[in-house]
Copies of this chain bind each other. A is one copy, B any other.
């Protein structure tokens, strides 16, 4: 049995949860309020961040290396394609969402609206929220453009890139920050990935003080 130390709305933790679920790896979830700097947690991960995964007798940190490990150690079903070009494209998109999208959108919306309150780190900055609300439009359009050329974000098969993207969008959808009217193509993609069994635990998340909107867990949203 694996154990994941996580925060429910963290897109990096959600990405790992989706990969664990897709590969049917049983995993106990333990919520880790890492900003409170619990000494036990710091021993598990000196970098003091989540996700931290205990699996196969090891303790692992860093979501992208964890996901590549899971895909190599538990190859069925595969979430990485075979060819070198296709593999590059998956990794490029994982970086795109976890770096650029995270910095421009997730940090400006989710962290301002939720994390600051939960972590008692001050009030939301409306300038950042405005910037995030503006920039998510370009990202949704970019995703739509990709999905008009491919069945999934990185190619013809579902990969780690789809889970990276879905992890960010699901966290933002929890606070109603994704405009699903913007693109039917994008909505269809999200409906497909949202209906996978791996998504169930994410749709059941509840953060105290932040009830999700009714459409959040609705597969027919």
- By a beta-carbon cutoff of 8 Å, the part of chain A in contact with chain B is 47, 58, 60-62, 64-66, 68-69, 72-73, 84-85, 87-88, 91-92, 94-96, 99-100
The CA of A140 and the CA of B66, in the complex, are separated in Å by 24
The CA of A100 and the CA of B62, in the complex, are separated in Å by 11
Main secondary structure on chain A at its contact with chain B?
A: helix
- Cβ-defined contact, B64 with A87, below 8 A: no
| Known contacts A58-B85, A100-B47, A92 near B72 by CB under 8 Å | no
A58 nearest CB neighbor, chain B only:
B85
Residues of chain B within 8 A (CB-CB) of A87 are 68-69, 72
- Cβ-defined contact, A65 with B84, below 8 A: no
A47 nearest CB neighbor, chain B only:
B100
How many Å from the CB of A147 to the closest CB on chain B?
A: 17
Offer 7 A-B interface pairs, CB within 8 angstroms, sorted by A. A60-B92, A62-B91, A62-B95, A62-B99, A65-B88, A65-B95, A68-B87
A138 nearest CB neighbor, chain B only:
B46
Residues of chain B within 8 A (CB-CB) of A47 are 96, 100
The CA of A92 and the CA of B87, in the complex, are separated in Å by 18
- Give the 7 A-B residue pairs with the shortest CB-CB distance, closest first: A65-B91, A69-B88, A62-B95, A72-B84, A73-B84, A65-B92, A62-B92
- Cβ-defined contact, B60 with A95, below 8 A: no
Given contacts A60-B92, A65-B95, A68-B88, 15 further A-B contacts (CB under 8 A): A47-B100, A58-B85, A60-B88, A61-B92, A62-B91, A62-B92, A62-B99, A64-B64, A64-B91, A64-B95, A65-B88, A65-B94, A66-B88, A69-B85, A69-B87
